[in-house]
Structure 1
Amino acid sequence: MCSKIFGIRHLQVLLLFFALVLGFAMRVNISMAIVAMTDKRSEDPFDWNMQIQSIVFSSFFWGYIILQIPSGELAARYGGTILVTISIAVNSVVSLLIPFGAHYGGWKALCVLRGIQGLSQGCLYPTMHHLIGKWVPLEEKARLGTFIYGGTLLGTGIQLVASGYIAAYWGWPAIFYINGSLAAIWVMFYFFLGADSPQKSKHITREERLYIQTSLGHLNGQKILKTPWKKLALSRPFISLIVMHSGHNWGFWTLMTEIPSYMNLILKVDIKANGTLSALPYFVMYILSIPCGIISDYGLKKNWFSINTCRKVSNSIGEFGPALALIALCHSPPGNVTQAVGLLTVVVGLNAGHLSGFMLVHIDMAPNFAGTMMGITTFFANVVSIIAPLVAGLILEDQYDIKQWALVFYVTSCIYIVSNIIFIIFGTSARQPWNEPEETETNPDKIVEQ
């Protein structure tokens, strides 16, 4: 057992955590920025209705879906650090260009730039799964994996809070300038400190490397395996995982893109308070994600429950809970800000269960292909992420009509429930027989994820 409280594996986890903090900050900043950009009380506002805004929201995912499947394969072949570095670097540059593009090219130029950001972020999730499989020992998988992916929640929460104040005091362009600058700083740090695996790290001790290799079974190197595409396509548990990921994304991105507008139009909250109240659910979700990971690891270690039960219970908390809270929101008194914000906090906060739920099932089912599998499920999930804001825009013909907002929430609730039921019935964390297909070559430097 490696006794170090903080080792090089923890440094890698921390760097990947901040990559997701920054990546999601740049992914969601448009949700608050567009409120300021279209505010008729501001100087030179953009005259964009809800339909145009919905197109802008979805444009990120036009590019995002393209690299999902290839990036899992690329990470396995060439390593994950180069892909993560390029992703954040491109997002940094584009973020700095967005104010210029929106001013001179309008919403169409903004859609193109957001599409480029989405394209470059397409490799983030598959590459994260790949690097977690290289660096994180099995005994620490849930808590460190949850910590890394918790960066998506913290980045979202911080961005929503900061955006409200930045827009109020310095104007909405400053949101993108600050994001781009912070991302550039991260790229410099990761360039010098990041590594594809313990075998390639220049800073790791022999003791820590041996601990990680022993835990993951990498002592003698690992076979480079051909992805069993046909078996993946015919795997009922894997198809249920695709459905679950897609249903989760529908809910997550509907709420992400629409909550600031709901706060502004229905609850009449000003821009500074809007950012804080919109962010509150994501901070709660981040806080709840920490005990979820710790309890999962501890419960499995003590044999309190099987890994399959652990994942499905966690996931049900993260999907059924929000669905019921959304239904309650539809029946809450109109204009009651405290109750509405409280219910939205419950909706998003309970979503934390998915981080120790379906998000880790890829690694449970087939650790050798976890990156590729994450790329596939994320591809389909983000096709849904394109559709969800557009559907919300179509429903919200009158953006001030509380009944139309209730319909958006009802649809989201139904999708949460149905997708999780499918996952409970057909999903599994059991190791799949096609995890070990016929090998093609052996290379100790190219270790597939465990």
Structure 2
Amino acid sequence: MTAERGKFVCHSFQMKYITVVLIYMIVIVKGIVLLCISTSMIVSSDTSTDHANRTTTSGIITFDGIPLKNMELYYFKIILSSFGIGYSIAACIGGIIADLYGGRYCILFGMTSLSTAGLVFPFIIVHMPWYIIIVIFFLQGLCEGVMIPGQYSLYARWIPTNEITLIVGCLHPCRVLSQITVKYMMYYLQHRIANFWTWMLFFWGGVGLTVAFFAFIFVFSNPFQCKMSSEKEKKDMEIVGGKNPKRINWKMIFEDEAAWAAMIEHIAHLWQNRLLQVELSKILKSSHENVGPFPVQASVTLWCVVLAAVGSSVVVNRLVKKQRIPVIYMRTVANALSTLVPGVLLELTYNTNYGKNLSVILCPLALSFKSIHAPSGQTNVLDLTRYYAGTIIGIQIGVGTALSFVIPIIRQGVLESPDITDWGQMYDLSFSSCLIAMLLYMIWARAERAAWDVVIEDDDDDEFIEEVTE
């Protein structure tokens, strides 16, 4: 397979970029709605009970300061876990649906469902029994799991190879920007606006439905028509995700060793990233008194991640288009940096007496290097699996989410004294798995994808667009 694989563009140049902008907006709004839902329920740490002032005793779950009498702390943990369970189950299903019938339907369904959930959540959480809330959170996880593979399937199918690195790389900062938005609004407005979380969910749920409506009008109601560069691509498209496909050719997917190598590598990165985020959060929390309030430390960390992800995406995309470095080597180097540097920085916090003080600098730096993986590792999966990207992405999301459940269980149930040293051993294990996965990727993917060194030029796409517009 050659770089011809990416040599097709949408018939409408404008439609392609409207699609990208709308998906970015959907990712941001979706992230804000989910963060509002998960953050609005607070485990009170107060020890006194004063219903007139809406203060509660320790361990009571509150929403907008109102005690939730229908929920206990044990049920609260199950509710939060039910979302992840639904998410991991639906990811594989959503990927298959996206490959068979189109990612735009998955995105539209997920966005509409999550936005509606945001609008009705303030009523449900207060008046419904805990078991109904568990079912609702599980269904929300299903909607999210169906939606995420759909957006990657759209990118893999309709965005040319010489542009996909930048577009996918910049998708990661969109998620971080949603976190920044919620955190800032929560920090500055939570104690100034009555029923803050209710109004937040109403506002962003309405924004989500508006975005879904415009997405349907401008993009999803218009069928995509693309130009294939060869008869083989047309045949592949018919086999895996044609206009009216009957099945997915699982044999072809399982025989694609390079695609599985890239997927294994990305799952290892998800595991390492989860460990890194948990440990850095603990370090930040322990040193919170020394580094100042949220806008000082956490915002610096988040903005470093945004700038690093966007900057690395621009650099990698530029090198791909200019053919300065062979793509296979360049992405491997980027993956190595995103694996090795955070590991070394975190080890410094384990093995020095200045860990807390160093964390102020090392936390933003480690997460920034970790964000380099977005324009390299994720793009590898999309380039290698263009016609069944939804299925592969769905599998890796499901496995990665399952690992996020296993890690806390191992930490709390297996380790006798889960202090920072034991946690460091867990991180070392994930660090080793990343290196092994990278080695497998280099062995399997290099020979088959050597033709990536040749990348199509923009001139071919521009000529085709001119022909269509005429």
Q: TM-score range by the shorter chain?
A: 0.7 to 0.9
SS of 2:238's equivalent in the other structure is strand
Alignment of 1:109-128 (within 5 A): 111-128=134-151
Report the counterpart of residue 44 of structure 2 in structure 1.
38
Offset, 1:121: 0.9
* 8 Å contact kept, 2:87–2:144: yes
TM-score normalised by the chain length of structure 1: 0.76
Offset, 1:87: 0.6
Q: Does structure 1 residue 292 correspond to structure 2 residue 312?
A: yes
Query: CA deviation digits over 1:188-239, x for unaligned, max 9?
Result: 221212238xx726xxxxxxx8xx7377999979741143424544655444
Amino acid at match of 2:55: E
Offset, 1:52: 7.3
SS of 1:224's equivalent in the other structure is helix
Report the counterpart of residue 23 of structure 2 in structure 1.
16
Counterpart-to-counterpart distance in 2, 1:330 and 1:137: 43
Which moves more between the two structures, 320-329 or 345-354?
Answer: 320-329
Query: CA deviation digits over 1:347-405, x for unaligned, max 9?
Result: 2221211112221122222322222211222221121123234445558999xxxx725
Pair 254,112 (structure 1): closer, same or farther in 2 beyond 3 Å: farther
Alignment of 1:38-187 (within 5 A): 38-40=44-46, 43-44=55-56, 46-47=59-60, 57-104=80-127, 111-170=134-193, 173-174=197-198, 175-187=200-212
Offset, 1:108: 6.0
Q: Does structure 1 residue 189 correspond to structure 2 residue 195?
A: no
Report the counterpart of residue 213 of structure 1 in structure 2.
227
Offset, 1:62: 0.5
Report the counterpart of residue 239 of structure 2 in structure 1.
225
Counterpart-to-counterpart distance in 1, 2:19 and 2:153: 13
SS of 1:368's equivalent in the other structure is coil
User: Could you tell me which of 432, 438, 457 is aligned with 1:423?
Assistant: 438
User: Could you tell me which of 386, 391, 394 is aligned with 1:372?
Assistant: 391
Which moves more between the two structures, 286-295 or 255-264?
Answer: 255-264
Offset, 1:53: 6.8
Pair 370,431 (structure 1): closer, same or farther in 2 beyond 3 Å: farther
Report the counterpart of residue 69 of structure 2 in structure 1.
none
Report the counterpart of residue 309 of structure 1 in structure 2.
329
Which moves more between the two structures, 349-358 or 223-232?
Answer: 223-232
Aligned length: 413
Report the counterpart of residue 363 of structure 1 in structure 2.
382
Report the counterpart of residue 249 of structure 1 in structure 2.
270
* 8 Å contact kept, 1:365–1:432: no
Report the counterpart of residue 261 of structure 2 in structure 1.
240
SS of 2:89's equivalent in the other structure is coil
Q: Does structure 1 residue 267 correspond to structure 2 residue 290?
A: no
Counterpart-to-counterpart distance in 1, 2:386 and 2:405: 29
Counterpart-to-counterpart distance in 1, 2:122 and 2:281: 20
Which moves more between the two structures, 366-375 or 276-285?
Answer: 276-285
Alignment of 1:386-401 (within 5 A): 386-391=405-410, 394=413
SS of 2:388's equivalent in the other structure is helix
Offset, 1:415: 0.9
Offset, 1:295: 1.8
Query: CA deviation digits over 1:250-283, x for unaligned, max 9?
Result: 343455567667645x23459x934764454333
Amino acid at match of 1:85: L
Counterpart-to-counterpart distance in 2, 1:123 and 1:314: 29
Which moves more between the two structures, 231-240 or 241-250?
Answer: 231-240
Which moves more between the two structures, 94-103 or 215-224?
Answer: 215-224
Counterpart-to-counterpart distance in 2, 1:334 and 1:109: 48
Counterpart-to-counterpart distance in 1, 2:267 and 2:380: 15
Query: CA deviation digits over 1:289-319, x for unaligned, max 9?
Result: 1222222222223333222212211112222
SS of 2:215's equivalent in the other structure is helix
Counterpart-to-counterpart distance in 1, 2:118 and 2:408: 21
Report the counterpart of residue 66 of structure 2 in structure 1.
none
* 8 Å contact kept, 1:361–1:429: no
* 8 Å contact kept, 1:88–1:187: yes
Counterpart-to-counterpart distance in 1, 2:232 and 2:277: 40
Report the counterpart of residue 446 of structure 1 in structure 2.
none
